[in-house]
Structure 1
Amino acid sequence: MSRLRVVRAFVLLTGFFLLGFVLLAALGALDWLLVSRAAAGAPTSLLQGGALTASLLLAVAIVQGMFAFLRAGRLRKEEGAVAVTPDAQPELWALVRAAAEATGEQPPDELYLDAQVNAAVSEASRMLGLLPGRRRMRIGVPLLVGMTVQQLRGVLAHEFGHYANLDTRLGGVIMRGRAAVLHTVEVFGRSQTWFHEAVGMLYVRYAHLYLRTSQAVGREQELAADRTAARHAGRDATVSSLRAMPVLDAAYEHYLTAYAGVGERLGVLPPRGEVYGGFRRMMAGRSLEDLAEFSAGQTPPRPHEYDSHPPIAERVALIQALPEDGRTAEPDDARPALTLLREADAVFTALEACTLGPTDSTVPRASWDDLVMARAVAEAQEESRPLQVATARALRAESADDRAGRPAGSVADDALPCLEDVLDAVDRGLLWMEIADRIPKPQQASWLTGASARNFVRPSVFNGLAGLVHLRLVQAGQVTPDLAWSGHSPGLALPGEWARHMDEALDAAVADTPDTALLRSLLAGVASEVAR
């Protein structure tokens, strides 16, 4: 049954290319009929002339599609990746070559490192994928950071296993053909003309038929590649690498958002080489179990309709069902895969230059500590401003000096009340009588009154007060940046008393009956420290 599916998919793949000849022949027959009628003396109408023009345009689109299909296997210029040579990275190349040899495949002609949680092999196939060609491999630096040598060996063997054709000689052709079909459909999708859309619709429908037929072949090859990895790296190491991939992916996404992007809103980048290199710091000394927190509770992404990858759980179960192989990792195999990389800092720096483009040299850089502090200040200012503006307007209303219709956003920064002014207004009972009503709320919440209104706006008041407190502590030099490489995200490390009692003090200040005593007591401690 497997061979029958492969043959059926191969026939459809050939038909995808021959579809162009069939369409050209049909258009040629139509044109010949129109021209013959004109030669026989039949009157030529404007409609016939338009048909000939449309036929020519459609023929051009068909030929472009055929060339796109034939050119799909050509290797394009690698972008967002750093080329590494055997002389520069001999240990990494040795691991790659060993994985290729173990699967009976030729090693890649070129090796690149990129910033993805992935590894892949591509090649310049010829004649609809029948003949292999020049081969490239890409390895994601996050895999080197988060995996052991043995796990990476399994990942590499899996990639070469796609091309080993252990089940059928046509299996590799089908996989290359899927890439060619998708590339052809993508070319038509980028075109905006009506004749490209008309021809593209036919190719897309045929592509769906081919992809559905070849999907089972692709899944079989995925599982065959897993078995190849198990033979080369060992059953347990392969299971470990399969389980590591989604965990690493979630951890890396968290790193890019919480750390690499910490200065994005400020237009500042981490130190040179640390945009991707900082991932090492977050990963230092952490096991896969520790990293699982980043993917906990996340819904697995919905697989693509024609995804050839079976679910990770299914793949793991099939590998675990294999007989015990008795293989244990050698001491060298248990070390981090990043140790295979020479001058890792230089590689991370070069990778930034490839992926960031002009931004790499034009955007200012700052230390991790300075980035965390600057972002904390910017966030505190943003969170506290609505409360300050609302308080300023409430104070003007209290003194009968409020200008009718003056919008909240028109209050100047130098006229905004300080933390003590806000607390004084709260103590005078203005929080729930005046201030809360002036804090911006979405339209759908504008009708709320009483307890419902207070509960809706309470988090905004809490965050506003917290922002004012953070700004005061920063000004007093009472906080330090906390990168929290072992935690969830960077922030500020508060003094002992504040760390223990700040939430309690803020909760009391924003209660239905506000009490600012504890918050004022903590602030008095800050003032005494500054006085010293």
Structure 2
Amino acid sequence: MTFRLRAVRALVLLAGFHLMGVVLLSAMAALDWLLVTRLLTAQAAWLEGMVLTVTVLLAAAILRGMYAFLRAGRLGPVPHAVAVTPQDEAELWEQVRAAAEVTGERPPDELYLLAEVNAGVAEQNRLLGLLPGRRRMFLGLPLLAGLTVPQLRAVLAHEFGHYGNLDTRLGGVTMRCRKAVLHTVEVFREGSTRLHYAIGALYVGYARMFLRTSQSVARHQELAADRIAARHAGRDATAAALRNLPVLAAAHTHYLETYAAMGGPLEALPPVGEVYGGFRRLLAARTGERLAALSAGQRPPRPHEYDSHPPTAERIALIEKLPADDRPDGSGDEPAALTLLYDPDRMFAALEARTLPREEARLRRMSWDDLVMARAVADAEGWSRPLRVAVSRALRSSAQAADSTVTVRRGAAAEGVANDRLPGLEEILDAFDRGLLWMAVADRMPKPHQAARLTGPSARNFIRPKIFDGLAGMVHLRLAEAGHATPDIAWSGQPGLVLPEAWEKGMDDALDAAVADTPDTAPLRALLEAGLTHDIVR
């Protein structure tokens, strides 16, 4: 069957999808008329009422589905994006219009910038998706930050290719119809009654048949859109854009989780415009393999059952089979697509204002360095608290069991514990020297229920890393208080503290000695003494 015939078959099935509701309503109306006028007697009025109630509920479900189908693709407000006009961003609009022209499509009526690694075109369809309507384009600012201008041209041409009649007049129409059908199925899946589910099952089953039938048409349309993107932007630039998209998506997720959300526990935000704008700094610091490493080993997101996109590797392979056009892949010295904006900083700030919840937008703003330092201190306090609490309880138990002639040193520790003051680093090391680490402290460290049954070396090996982290947290706090640790945003690595050179070289070994089966706190004490009495070379 030719591509044209497959598209015609899909449109015939689409008409059946809509007519099914009309047929069901007509059949129920005829059944009600027969039951009321011919089959039921006056003595069976209760049965008449029950039948009418059921058919009304079924009709309501059908009408809801038909209404959803008719309204599929309606464009509503866009609360989480920034609208830009041709007067605002002339260069960006010029690229958008050029991509629309090369596909034979009209440019969008509206253009919105998002906080996502994404691009797309939404259209308000008419006549069940057969006719185009008002059109919007969405572009992610992170996408503009990560792609070069030639690569963005490829993405834009591909998105308009979804709606273009590239190989047949029915290709773009079929894509619109698929969106309308998918929208209707989602409406039925949200139904709350059994009758709604029963009617929805008919529509969902029919929709699956339509989507399976039109799948080859949709895949053909996607590949045709890739080809026209290659003609517009260049073969190599189109392939490079496809390779970069999953890398950028993984990098953006890492940025949001590691950097943008850094101030969450502190109820603080990065500087204005940096919640999303800081992603540019990560991209500048991590290039090539270091950027790709963020997505290494990650499974690609599971596609929708009826996703029209072929696998990315297959799309790239087909693009690379196209004849060479002597145009570069858009990397190298090509500027980032973000340079198409007049004032990217202002746009990132405007996007924050549109997307951040009101309560979150009111949080205090901190510089990246201050944010890193505050978060490092908060994390160190979190790591060290379980150890400090465990040592406090061990000291309290030891003090209560001691004779009234306890030494002054032990009495001072007990007095501090009695006043609910958690012990400091020196007191913890003193407790380790007294042999309390494995006799009393380890048993009081929090652990899962399953680990509570461990004994001997197994128990020690399980809890040792937590004690190590607790001591490391206290060391970080001590160095930060003394001014010997500095914040490092580390766009190319992991944000945290930069410790003095002596500590970077010797801290792990000193901590290992302190939490050994036979604790030796001397190396750690020596580092502490050197750090407090001398200027440490960084």
* TM-score tier after normalising by the smaller chain length: over 0.9
Displacement after TM superposition at 1:8 (Å): 2.5
Map of 1:426 onto structure 2:
432
Q: Kindly indicate whether residue 28 of structure 2 is the aligned counterpart of residue 27 of structure 1.
A: yes
User: TM-score, length-normalised on structure 1?
Assistant: 0.94
Give matches, 1:395-474, under 5 Å.
395-401=395-401, 414-474=420-480
**Aligned amino acid, residue 453 of structure 1:** A
357-366 vs 85-94, which moves further? 357-366
Is the alpha carbon distance of 1:111 and 1:333 closer, same or farther for their aligned partners in structure 2, counting shifts above 3 Å? farther
**Identity of aligned pairs, percent?**
64
Q: Kindly indicate whether residue 526 of structure 2 is the aligned counterpart of residue 521 of structure 1.
A: yes
In 2, distance between residues paired with 1:290 and 1:355?
30
Map of 1:74 onto structure 2:
74
Displacement after TM superposition at 1:329 (Å): 6.5
**Aligned amino acid, residue 461 of structure 1:** I
Q: Kindly indicate whether residue 499 of structure 2 is the aligned counterpart of residue 494 of structure 1.
A: yes
451-460 vs 301-310, which moves further? 301-310
In 2, distance between residues paired with 1:483 and 1:109?
41
**Aligned amino acid, residue 387 of structure 1:** L
**Aligned amino acid, residue 470 of structure 1:** H
In 2, distance between residues paired with 1:530 and 1:399?
38
**Aligned amino acid, residue 130 of structure 1:** L
Give matches, 1:309-388, under 5 Å.
309-328=309-328, 334-359=334-359, 361-388=361-388
Q: Kindly indicate whether residue 265 of structure 2 is the aligned counterpart of residue 268 of structure 1.
A: no
**Aligned amino acid, residue 432 of structure 2:** V
Is the alpha carbon distance of 1:177 and 1:440 closer, same or farther for their aligned partners in structure 2, counting shifts above 3 Å? same
**Aligned amino acid, residue 492 of structure 1:** L
Displacement after TM superposition at 1:198 (Å): 2.6
Aligned residue pairs, count: 521
**Aligned amino acid, residue 421 of structure 1:** E
Per-residue CA distance 1:180-231 (angstroms, 9 max, x = gap)? 1121122223332333333222222222222222222222211111111101
Contact 1:148–1:333, Cα closer than 8 Å, also in 2: no
Contact 1:473–1:479, Cα closer than 8 Å, also in 2: yes
Is the alpha carbon distance of 1:384 and 1:285 closer, same or farther for their aligned partners in structure 2, counting shifts above 3 Å? closer
Provide the secondary structure at the position in 2 that maps to 1:137: strand
Per-residue CA distance 1:88-135 (angstroms, 9 max, x = gap)? 100101111111111111111111100111110111111111111111
Displacement after TM superposition at 1:285 (Å): 5.2
Contact 1:387–1:461, Cα closer than 8 Å, also in 2: yes
In 2, distance between residues paired with 1:332 and 1:157?
22
Q: CA RMSD in A?
A: 2.0
Give matches, 1:9-408, under 5 Å.
9-37=10-38, 41-284=41-284, 286-328=286-328, 334-359=334-359, 361-401=361-401
Is the alpha carbon distance of 1:41 and 1:426 closer, same or farther for their aligned partners in structure 2, counting shifts above 3 Å? closer
Per-residue CA distance 1:486-515 (angstroms, 9 max, x = gap)? 21x211111111112211211221122222
In 2, distance between residues paired with 1:205 and 1:530?
75
Q: Which runs of 5+ in 2 are unaligned?
A: 403-416
Is the alpha carbon distance of 1:324 and 1:264 closer, same or farther for their aligned partners in structure 2, counting shifts above 3 Å? same
Runs of 4+ displaced beyond 3 Å: 328-333, 411-414
Displacement after TM superposition at 1:412 (Å): 8.5
**Aligned amino acid, residue 530 of structure 2:** G
Contact 1:72–1:180, Cα closer than 8 Å, also in 2: yes
2-11 vs 49-58, which moves further? 2-11
Map of 1:408 onto structure 2:
none
Contact 1:149–1:333, Cα closer than 8 Å, also in 2: no
Is the alpha carbon distance of 1:413 and 1:137 closer, same or farther for their aligned partners in structure 2, counting shifts above 3 Å? farther
Contact 1:80–1:355, Cα closer than 8 Å, also in 2: yes
The equivalent position to 2:517 in structure 1, one of 501, 512, 515, is 512
**Aligned amino acid, residue 177 of structure 1:** C
Per-residue CA distance 1:428-477 (angstroms, 9 max, x = gap)? 22111211111011011111111111111111101111111111111111
Displacement after TM superposition at 1:361 (Å): 3.6
In 2, distance between residues paired with 1:118 and 1:331?
19
